[in-house]
Amino acid sequence: MKVGFFPGCSLEGSSREYNESLLAIAPALGLELAEVPDWNCCGATAAHSLNHKLALALPARILALAERAGITELLVPCSACFSRLAATREQLTRDDALRGEIARIIELPFTARTKVLNVLEVLALCVKDGFAQQVRRPFAHKVACYYGCYLTRPKSIGTCARAEDPQEMDEMMKLVGAEPLDWAFKVECCGAGLSVSRTSSVAELSGRIVADAAARGAEAIIVACPMCHTNLDLRRSAIERHRQAKYALPVLYLSQVIGLALGLGERELGLHRHAVPVRLASPAPAGGEPAARPTATVSQEQEN
């Protein structure tokens, strides 16, 4: 399966482990990633809080570059980036005049035809038929799957069938041998971009999420969003000060869990980069030690 790939700023900076783990599992899943050439920041939360047309132009330029590179389907692993690109595409598809104006601003032809996919959609396609035979080390742990805000809202771009109780990540966790828990905070806000400007608010909101997962016996929280990971992992000391409690509960990306189940190494998957140490006992590999797997490289063949 070949798809376009937009890593975004986080995967090349604060969330390198997300990028590393995705590239590590891609060959085993038959996934070929073609990075969008000359991509730019999607604008995140800052642009649309300041200037509406800028907030449309930044994601539109990425989509226009993807179109020019012949990319028809674009994987956007960061949930926040996915939200910005998918919402922009949805709005500009409905408004021909505005789409023309944005095309003039970015100085690129733009039809909004490239489909924007989030990581749940793509990985769900990759871990279906025959995946059980690839599992070398079942991830036999109780997990709290945390979807956050962006994968289910707004409804016009949300790809989860059940907005209030999504199951897509839960189903993938079952395939790798984990036990997803029924819990109350899987779509609650972690505080998002307030991580820097109002860390106290993040400590309160993310603290509720961590506390509920721990109370239900979770051994790990599973995420698919760099901002969610930052708030639940990097801000753990602020959470513990706010709640006056200690939580050793690690936060793993969905891609890292899949990689562990495939038998890939912890450093290869970036687990050493986490603020909260990942200390989970690993079961013996099924059927002996797995063969070494190549690490994916992102194709740049389309770059000018």
One domain for residues 269 and 135: yes
One domain for residues 43 and 150: no
Evaluate whether residue 152 is within a structural domain: yes
Evaluate whether residue 154 is within a structural domain: yes
Tell whether the model's pLDDT for residue 75 goes beyond 70.
Answer: yes
Tell whether the model's pLDDT for residue 288 goes beyond 70.
Answer: no
Evaluate whether residue 172 is within a structural domain: yes
One domain for residues 85 and 13: yes
181-212 pLDDT, tens digit per residue, is 999 999 999 988 777 778 889 999 999 999 99
One domain for residues 6 and 54: yes
One domain for residues 142 and 52: no
One domain for residues 75 and 138: no
What CATH number is associated with residue 81? 1.20.1050.140
Mean pLDDT, to the nearest integer, of 221-244? 96
**Three-state DSSP class for residue 133:** helix
Query: Nearest-CA neighbor of 135 among 259, 52, 218?
Result: 259
Evaluate whether residue 254 is within a structural domain: yes
One domain for residues 137 and 264: yes
One domain for residues 27 and 92: yes
pLDDT value at residue 40:
96
Contact 255, 122 (CB under 8 A): no
Evaluate whether residue 304 is within a structural domain: no
Last-in-domain residue among 119, 138, 167: 119
One domain for residues 31 and 63: yes
The structural domain count of the chain equals: 2
Evaluate whether residue 175 is within a structural domain: yes
Last-in-domain residue among 119, 144, 166: 119
One domain for residues 164 and 71: no
10-61 pLDDT, tens digit per residue, is 998 889 999 999 999 999 999 999 999 999 999 887 777 788 999 999 999 9
Q: Model's pTM, two decimal places?
A: 0.90
Supply the range of the domain harboring residue 96: 2-119
For 235-242, the CB contacts below 8 A with 24+ separation are 235/195, 235/199, 235/202, 235/203, 235/206, 236/210, 236/275, 236/276, 238/199, 238/200, 238/202, 238/203, 239/203, 239/206, 239/207, 239/210, 241/203, 242/200, 242/203, 242/204, 242/207
Evaluate whether residue 282 is within a structural domain: no
Structure tokens at 67: 């179109």
Across all residues in the chain, what is the average pLDDT? 89
Between the alpha carbon of residue 72 and those of residues 32, 48, 246, 288, 292, the distances in Å are 14, 26, 46, 40, 32
What CATH number is associated with residue 153? 3.40.50.11810
pLDDT value at residue 150:
87
One domain for residues 11 and 105: yes
What percentage of the chain has pLDDT greater than the value 90?
75
One domain for residues 89 and 173: no
Evaluate whether residue 223 is within a structural domain: yes
